[in-house]
Amino acid sequence: MIWSEHEPRGIRLLRVQIGGMTFDVAEAGSGDHLALCLHGFPELNYAWRYQMLLLARMGYRVWAPNQRGYGGSSRPGGVQDYTVDKLVADVAALFDASKAARLTLIGHDWGGFVAWIFAINRVRPVERLVVMNNPHPACLREALRRWPQRRRSWYIVAMQIPWLPEWWLCRRDGVAIRRLFRGMAVDKSRFSDALLDIYAAAACERGAVRAMVNWYRAAVRWTNWMRLPNDCRCTARRL
């Protein structure tokens, strides 16, 4: 419904079935070089609508999926359904389903974290990796051993509390969702009331916000993502 009302010209909407999962995918461009764009929390694939058209003009075929739990994509109910290995497997399955020969992986926020883990573990060959608003996992792991970063990451701990994060995010018609976008934006005019209505409505559909919060819960309960290859280390002084 979001794209049918606000769809930029040149973007096509797909429903991609992979095993028992179904993904909403926005597509632009053509060719065998896929630019796979992974959104963050609490976004949707709609966040990539402008970048998709630019990438298509540059010669890429662009896929922007709603990741599991988001939008109209499959929304499994358990925390165990949102472990990092399952999120990474979704990316591999989407690339395989595209039948593309080459992959450029682009991620923002949580999507950036998934992109890092995918590339580090060489799940599929990645020609180019673009990550925004998420540090290298080795740097994140190192920083989380120190209290300054732990204090900054208080919200991850808060997400572990049963039902409370869901209530807080969607109370009063999703006011917290709206503030997450506009409150952190450098140019707040980029987030119109109409756009924030889209994100808040999608997040507060039945079961949606719980699925989104379960990404955080699973990352804390299943920490296998911290076991990185031996050649993967952080050389940055600060995070």
Residue 163, domain member (yes or no): yes
pLDDT tens-digit series, residues 173-217 = 999 999 999 988 899 999 999 999 999 999 999 999 999 999 999
Residue 132, domain member (yes or no): yes
Tokens of 150: 């732990």
* Boundaries of domain holding 30: 2-138+148-226
Residue 72, domain member (yes or no): yes
pLDDT tens-digit series, residues 99-156 = 999 999 999 999 999 999 999 999 999 999 999 999 999 888 888 888 888 888 899 9
The predicted pLDDT at position 239 comes to: 40
C-alpha to C-alpha distance for 230 and 176, rounded to whole angstroms = 40
The predicted pLDDT at position 1 comes to: 53
Q: Which candidate, 69, 75, 44, 74, places its Cα nearest to that of 195? A: 44
The predicted pLDDT at position 236 comes to: 57
Sheet (strand 21-28) strand order: 12-18, 21-28, 61-65, 33-38, 102-108, 128-132
Q: What percent of the chain has pLDDT over 90?
A: 79
Residue 235, domain member (yes or no): no
CA distances from 122 to 125, 180, 234 (A): 6, 33, 18
Q: 224 exposed, middle or buried (CB, 10 Å; 0-12, 13-18, 19+)?
A: exposed
Residue 61, domain member (yes or no): yes
Residue 218, domain member (yes or no): yes
Tokens of 215: 């990404």
pTM, rounded to two decimals: 0.93
**Residue 207, domain CATH:** 3.40.50.1820
Residue 205, domain member (yes or no): yes
